[in-house]
Amino acid sequence: MSLHLHESVSLKPFNTFGVEVKARLFAEARSDDEVREALAEAERLGLPLLPVGGGSNLLLTGDVEALVLRMASRGLRIFEDDGERVLVEAEAGEPWHPFVLWSLEQGLSGLENLSLIPGTVGAAPMQNIGAYGVEISDVFAGLTALDRQSGELREFGLEECAFAYRDSLFKQQPGRWLILRVRFALSRKATLRLDYGPVRQRLQQEGIETPTARDVSRAICAIRSEKLPDPAELGNAGSFFKNPVVPIELAERIRAEHADLVSYPAGEGLAKLAAGWLIERAGWKDFREGDAGVHRLQALVLVNHGAATGSELLALARRIQADIERRFGVALEIEPNVI
């Protein structure tokens, strides 16, 4: 067996909250065969298998009685290029932001708005990650996943993935699919998405009137660095709550009391509210209790100031949820996977 199993391994380096918990067993899979070996070992030992990527969408609330499998396969390739539309494929273990930079180095556009998002390529479709007006589904061209029930490989197209806001088939069916590699349709002819004001404003401040994809990427990196803490310096998992979609009537009732409510159209009769605005207006921004807190610059981000446990962070999240429900009648949904 090429897979190496390790007992009682700290998962602190493998979750961006920096929570100190231990895995009963831990292994890294660098190939499809090692993924299959891990599945077989977990079944033989009677343990669940918990796959992880960069740990950037994970809240661990206690020691994990499972075989934790870090998806560590690497590889980037261009497999179709007609001079304009280019199909690229990335292995699941590729870190996301370096993959975005690689695509830009190849002269490709499409991923620039998703710059500086933590995590790995394999985890990206799970959440249908998105930022600044672009989601994975906008550039998705397919993926290969292992069916944990049958052991067979399956190819998924766009429709089969059931992508929605921070959602997908793979999130809806936890424990069934292991994503092995993902394909993206990118372009050599940039069609830039500058819908979000801060991006356009940043480019204007830099005197860039005709931006390239690289310009957009650099602007977004700068904006994210100013707004969001670096997990290497302050434990966090990025946005902790989804922006809630509510009936337009509820949004208007809130706006009647709070004229500066931040909201966006979300389909007929619906509005998407900025969860960060709700949390900040409720007074939680820069809140701290022990080492569990809310970021001082972005109320949507929960942070670990050093030694917070996952249970303490979850308890803080629950308090925020209850307060927002009481004040505004809005239910906030936690974005990271809670284990």
Q: Of these residues, 73, 103, 239, 263, which one is catalytic?
A: 239
CA triple 250-255-258, angle to 5 deg: 130
Question: Of 48, 71, 94, which marks where a domain is finished?
Answer: 71
Is residue 81 domain-shared with residue 66, that is, in the same domain?
Answer: no
Q: The CATH number of the domain where 166 resides is what?
A: 3.30.465.10
Question: Of 49, 71, 93, which marks where a domain is finished?
Answer: 71
Q: Tell me, what's the pLDDT at 165?
A: 86
Is residue 270 domain-shared with residue 325, that is, in the same domain?
Answer: yes
Domain extent at residue 242? 235-338
pLDDT (tens digit per residue) in 280-339:
999 999 999 999 999 999 999 999 999 999 999 999 999 999 999 999 999 999 999 999
Active site residue 166: yes
Is residue 331 domain-shared with residue 266, that is, in the same domain?
Answer: yes
Q: Is residue 1 part of a domain?
A: no
Active site residue 253: no
Is residue 93 domain-shared with residue 166, that is, in the same domain?
Answer: yes
d(CA 288, CA 177): 37
Rounded to the nearest angstrom, the gap between the alpha carbon of residue 69 and the centroid of all alpha carbons in its chain is 18
Does this model's pTM top 0.85? My answer is yes
Is residue 91 domain-shared with residue 208, that is, in the same domain?
Answer: yes
Q: Is residue 273 part of a domain?
A: yes
Mean pLDDT of 15-44: 96
The b/e string for 165-191 (b: 16+ C-beta within 10 A; e otherwise) is ebebbbbeeeeebbbbbbbbbbeeebe
3-class secondary-structure state, position 50: strand
Supply φ then ψ for residue 34, to 5 degrees: -70, -30
Is residue 53 domain-shared with residue 119, that is, in the same domain?
Answer: no
Q: Is residue 318 part of a domain?
A: yes
Is residue 320 domain-shared with residue 187, that is, in the same domain?
Answer: no
pLDDT (tens digit per residue) in 14-23:
999 999 999 9
Q: Tell me, what's the pLDDT at 126?
A: 93
| Mean of per-residue pLDDT scores for the chain | 94
Q: Give the tokens for residue 303.
A: 């942070």
pLDDT(196) > 90: no
pLDDT band for position 267 (cuts 50, 70, 90): confident
Number of structural domains found in the chain? 3
- Comparing C-alpha atoms, which of 305, 292, 302, 299 is closest to residue 233? 305
Sorted by sequence, the CB contacts under 8 Å of residue 233 that are 6+ apart come out as none
Is residue 221 domain-shared with residue 114, that is, in the same domain?
Answer: yes
Q: Of these residues, 148, 166, 202, 281, which one is catalytic?
A: 166
Mean pLDDT of 50-61: 93
Mean pLDDT of 50-77: 95
Question: Of 163, 193, 227, which marks where a domain is finished?
Answer: 227
Sorted by sequence, the CB contacts under 8 Å of residue 165 that are 6+ apart come out as 128, 130, 135, 242, 243, 245
Is residue 53 domain-shared with residue 87, that is, in the same domain?
Answer: no
- Comparing C-alpha atoms, which of 241, 248, 108 is closest to residue 187? 108
3-class secondary-structure state, position 156: strand
pLDDT(251) > 80: yes
Q: Is residue 272 part of a domain?
A: yes
Active site residue 268: no
Q: Is residue 261 part of a domain?
A: yes
SS3 percent helix, strand, coil of the chain, rounded to 5, is 30, 30, 40
pLDDT band for position 1 (cuts 50, 70, 90): low
Hey, what amino acid is at 166? R
pLDDT (tens digit per residue) in 64-112:
999 999 999 999 999 999 989 999 999 999 999 999 999 999 999 999 9
Is residue 84 domain-shared with residue 218, that is, in the same domain?
Answer: yes
Mean pLDDT of 138-143: 97
Mean pLDDT of 144-165: 94
Residue 144, beta-bridge partner list = 155, 181
Q: Is residue 163 part of a domain?
A: yes
Is residue 87 domain-shared with residue 38, that is, in the same domain?
Answer: no
d(CA 106, CA 115): 15
pLDDT (tens digit per residue) in 166-175:
899 999 998 8
Q: Is residue 115 part of a domain?
A: yes
Contact 90, 182 (CB under 8 A): yes
Q: Tell me, what's the pLDDT at 117?
A: 92
Q: Is residue 189 part of a domain?
A: yes
Q: Give the tokens for residue 232.
A: 């290497």
Q: The CATH number of the domain where 38 resides is what?
A: 3.30.43.10
Mean pLDDT of 212-218: 95
Contact 110, 185 (CB under 8 A): yes
Q: Tell me, what's the pLDDT at 175?
A: 86
Q: The CATH number of the domain where 280 resides is what?
A: 3.90.78.10
Is residue 202 domain-shared with residue 266, that is, in the same domain?
Answer: no
Sorted by sequence, the CB contacts under 8 Å of residue 185 that are 6+ apart come out as 85, 86, 87, 110, 139, 140, 141
pLDDT(6) > 90: yes
